Amino acid sequence: MKLVVTGGAGFIGSCFIRHILSKYPDYSVINLDALTYAGNIQNLDDVKDNPNYSFVHGNICDKKLVSKLFEDADAVVNFAAESHVDRSISGPEIFVQTNVQGTLNLLQAAKEFKLKRYLQVSTDEVYGSLQKDGYFYETTPLAPNSPYSASKAGADLLVRAYFETYKLPVVITRCSNNYGPYQYPEKLIPFFISQLLKGKKVPVYGDGLNVRDWLYVYDHCKAIDLVLHKGREGEVYNIGGHNEKTNLEITRIILSAMGKDESSISFVEDRLGHDRRYAIDNTKIHTQLGWSPSLTFEEGIKLTIDWYLNNQNWIKQIEEKKGSV
């Protein structure tokens, strides 16, 4: 299989590429990434010399480039997206451009060149917010509450429309919060670790009781692999870890691992439109495809914190790059 992976220099995309190249030695992978602030080609240093891997610096909004890459491709997995909620609140335009228009370009090219599979990597945030009880199901109505999640919901609806209208062989995955190595340090876990390493306090939004379902990134990538190869055309698959934690619980776990106490917490004004709770029901992918997380949260979070503590130079390089932009 010749696979195009968009956004493959990012956190989840780079993990997926490593997984595919390791599991399928006869596959070739083209990584198309614009290398915006969150893209880091060094995330794939360990596979850059693999003869089955190639990198193309470019944007999914570039129709000509996308068409060229899709000419003899078999499938595409679209990770490329602007993804940070806070950034979408202060500057929503780029989120619509990349997440909606970029997705449309990919769909058009996939239709033109008759790709055998189009997989859209989405998020549970398109469902909106949950109260104390209940879960997100694949049939839950979309109710996004931020410009980021609205742009992802718009992309998902375009993907669905291309299946219904053109019978393009699409699948959509919607995952819960990912954590693990190589995550850009604006996200909660690596950001808090980075702050504590500098002797600074960690900023916790509101009362810290917003709940997220956490999923280790390598388990997520294994699920995407299954959906890519065995998922039913036109279907949505929710991918969750059944690890609901409040932001305050996550903060305390990080503090404990780094020998800090709660004096290192600074409660700050809550984010605009901050969803209270996300929780995914993953029954469908478990019963249809046999997927379930391989690691407990306790195992995954220990591996994650240890990785960041052992790779402080990686964080430093990211922050130096950020400061030079």
> Does residue 135 carry a catalytic annotation?
no
Q: Measure the CA angle with vertex 209, ends 89 and 196; round to 5°.
A: 75
Cβ-contact 119, 77 below 8 angstroms: yes
**Can you tell me the distance from the alpha carbon of 99 to that of 154, in angstroms, rounded to the nearest whole number?**
8
Task: State the catalytic residue, choosing from 33, 82, 124, 244.
Answer: 124
**Can 125 be counted among the known catalytic residues?**
yes
For tokens 């039913």, the residue is 232
Query: Quick one: angle between helices 312-324 and 188-197, nearest 10?
Result: 100
Angstrom distance (rounded) from CA 14 to CA 47: 10
Catalytic residue among 53, 82, 118, 125: 125
Active-site residues, by number, are 124-125, 148
